[in-house]
Amino acid sequence: MQVVATLSLKGGVGKTTVALGLAGAALHHGIPTLLVDLDPQANATIALDVEPTTGTVADVLDEPSRSVLRRSIATSAWGEGLDVLVGSEQNERHNHPDPSTKQLERLARALSRLDDPDLGSSLGRTDEKPGEPYQLVIIDCPPSLGQLTRSALAASDRAILVTDPTMFAVSGVQRAFDAVQAERERGNPDLQPLGVLVNRVRPRNAEHDYRIAELRELFGPLVFGSVLPDRSAVQQAQGACLPIQSWDTPGAREVAAVFTALLGRLLRSRSRT
């Protein structure tokens, strides 16, 4: 099981869009996936159109037991093979600015219990290998560096740093990169930044070109060669609670191709470790 966090320390850059696009790519390629919605806005949970549950990720962070985990996971309406550890505004009560080590370890403890052989059957799934309900876990972080984001980094193998090509978002990437490095030193040496993904890029826009060049100067090969273009299809697909991979327009296919490449890079990074 590989765990990846989508991370930005500035709101509004499309971090949840990246989490959803990556989840849609995994679903399209038959990779059993769990999306963990840590953002108190719970936009990923809404877009994935899940059935009501009796628990949420906030309850899991209160008590990271198998029973609470089971009642906090729902199957996405996008299709079998994509589940959601449901988010809610109650997540905010776990977003302490100075959490203890015990608080930071709760998410990792919960995810370590995903090998429960009863988990798949409790969700009506029959396709998992015993002890391997998910190959991929995607954590959608809030746009702040409190307990929730740090918990995600403590539990992750990789981090995708999301930005858009604006001055303030570029500075947010630097803070996110520093947060990843700090978590590596603090207690998760296996954590690596997968790369910097630039979202909402418009062609022939001088400011966007300048900011992307600035990012490449700062982060070098960590900046993905492909960027996510600014396409209305993304908002249209999310509004319809559908994966971008199912939205049949040229713009949607262009965006979906970037997420397929991102998924491939993520899976290859696992094979190198």
Can you spell out the DSSP letters for 18-71? HHHHHHHHHHHTT--EEEEE-STT-HHHHHTTPPP-S--HHHHHH---HHHHHH
pTM, rounded to two decimals: 0.94
Report the amino acid identity of residue 25.
Answer: A
> What is the C-alpha to C-alpha distance for residues 29 and 119, in angstroms, rounded to an integer?
22
pLDDT tens for the chain, residues 1 to 273:
999 999 998 888 999 999 999 999 999 999 999 999 999 999 999 999 999 999 999 999 999 999 999 999 999 999 999 999 999 999 999 999 999 999 999 999 999 999 766 665 555 555 545 556 899 999 999 999 999 999 999 999 999 999 999 988 788 899 999 999 999 999 899 999 999 999 999 999 999 999 999 999 999 999 999 999 999 999 999 999 999 999 999 999 999 999 999 999 999 998 665
In total, the chain counts a number of residues equal to: 273
Q: For residue 214, give the CATH number of its domain.
A: 3.40.50.300
- Domain containing 220: what range? 2-271
Q: Using one digit for the tens of pLDDT, what is the confidence trace for 48-74?
A: 999 999 999 999 999 999 999 999 999
Total tally of structural domains belonging to the chain = 1
- Name the β-bridge partners of 138: 4, 35
* Alpha-carbon span 74 to 126, nearest angstrom: 15
pLDDT tens sequence across 95-116? 999 999 999 999 999 999 997 6
* Residue in 260, 269, 266 with CA at minimum distance from that of residue 28: 260
* β 2-7/33-37 pair status: unpaired
Q: Is 235 within 8 Å of 200 (Cβ atoms)?
A: no
